[in-house]
Amino acid sequence: MAEAAAPAVSRGEAGLIPLAVEALGFVAGGKQILADISFTLSDRSCTVILGPNGAGKSVLLRLLHGLLAPTGGSIRWGRLTPAQARRRQGMVFQHPVMLRRSALANLRHTLAVRKTPRSQRHGLAANALAMAGLETHAHQPARTLSGGEQQRLAIARAWMLAPEVLLLDEPTSNLDPAATGAIERLVAEVKAHGTRIIMTTHDIGQARRLASDVLFLHQGQLLEHTAAAHFFAGPATRAADSFIRGELLT
């Protein structure tokens, strides 16, 4: 409760941060996916939700973005309503949704849907293409881009709207190291522009490289929430310790 009244760290006096999640639960098809998740995110710059497959990471991200409704507990982004909050966030899905049009038209579509003034659309789209390193692919059908290129386009597309918070769901799953490196550099650049990152991954190396703090999720429970350095130096739970050492968690 106290966090909600704390001064907002993001742009303007009514930002998304702090994010306060309390006793969050989610049940689907009679199965408890998430149970009793509570945490507060204030000013750390890149939160990584870490955990093995099936831990509930993607569901947590969708709940935070308002695509799913909690079956218990609450999520509060600053003092904003869920609808206001979503407009200030960008979301990139694990399998990025590429419209059946060119890379450039994908960007233009997003700007048009968000009613960006026409005079600004060209510049914003061009910037986003450059940021994704896809200038030469502007007119290529987006769905024929490689997996890494699609992911970069999706990140640039979300970033183009200047979100306060960017949510990324497993942005590098199924990508080779070179493509993964390109995505991580892009995420770092987005972060450098002042956008707060919340991302999921099951890749420990990636979490080490990007995280400022870690939420460790296992079997729908939040086991740890600590600064990254602290987490990797000595996790407090046995499950996290096993996970970091590369053992299989079941």
Partner 1 sequence: MNDFSAAFAMAAQLVLSLDPELVEIVLLSLYVSLSSVALAALFGLPLGASIGMLRFPGRRAVIVMMNALMGLPPVVVGLVVYMLLSRAGPLGEFGLLFTPTAMIIAQFILVAPIVSALSRQVVEDLHEEYGEHLRSLDAGPLDSIATLLWDGRFRLLTAVLAGFGRAIAEVGAVLIVGGNILHHTRVMTTTIALETSKGNLALALALGMILIVLAAAVNATANILAGRAERQHG
Subset of residues 141 to 200 that bind partner 1, contact rule: CB under 8 A: 141, 143-144
Instruction: Out of 65, 196, 202, 218, name the contact with partner 1 by CB under 8 A.
Output: 65
214 within 8 A of 202, measured Cβ to Cβ:
no
Q: How far is the CB of 157 from partner 1 (least distance, A)?
A: 9
Closest distance between partner 1 and the C-beta of residue 82, in Å?
11
Using CB under 8 A, which of the segments 1-9, 43-51, 84-92, 213-221 binds partner 1?
Answer: 84-92
Distance CA 126, CA 130 (A): 6
Q: Near partner 1 by CB under 8 A, which window of 9-17, 29-37, 80-88, 214-222? A: 80-88
**Residue 7 token pair:** 């001064």
Return the SS3 of 22: strand
Binding segment (CB under 8 A) for partner 1, from list 46-54, 60-68, 117-125, 217-225: 60-68
Closest approach of partner 1 to the CB of residue 173, in Å: 17
Spatial contact of 90 and 151, defined as CB atoms under 8 Å apart: no
Place of tokens 């106290």: 2
Determine the interface stretch with partner 1 among 46-54, 85-93, 177-185, 214-222 (rule: CB under 8 A).
85-93
Q: Where are the alpha helices (DSSP H) in the chain?
A: 2-5, 57-65, 82-87, 103-113, 118-131, 147-159, 177-192, 204-210, 228-233, 238-244
Q: Which of 2, 83, 178, 248 binds partner 1 (CB under 8 A)?
A: 83
What is the closest distance, in whole angstroms, from the C-beta atom of residue 154 to partner 1 in the complex?
9
The number of helices, as runs of H, and strands, as runs of E, in the chain is 10, 9
Residue 140 has φ and ψ, to the nearest 5°, of: -80, 140
Nearer residue to partner 1 within complex by CB, 87 or 230 = 87
Site for partner 1 contains 2 (CB under 8 A)? no
CB of 118 to partner 1, least distance (A): 15
CA distance 93 to 71: 22
Site string for partner 1, 89-128 (x = CB under 8 A): -xx-x---x-xxx-------xx-xxx--------------
Q: Which residue type is seen at 103?
A: A
Length of the chain: 250
For residues 75-85, one letter each, b for 16 or more C-beta atoms within 10 angstroms of the residue's C-beta and e for the rest, the string is: bbbbeeeeeeb
Q: How far is the CB of 165 from partner 1 (least distance, A)?
A: 12
- Residue 141 token pair: 């059908």
Give contact residues for partner 1 (rule: CB under 8 A).
62, 65, 67, 83, 86-87, 90-91, 93, 97, 99-101, 109-110, 112-114, 141, 143-144
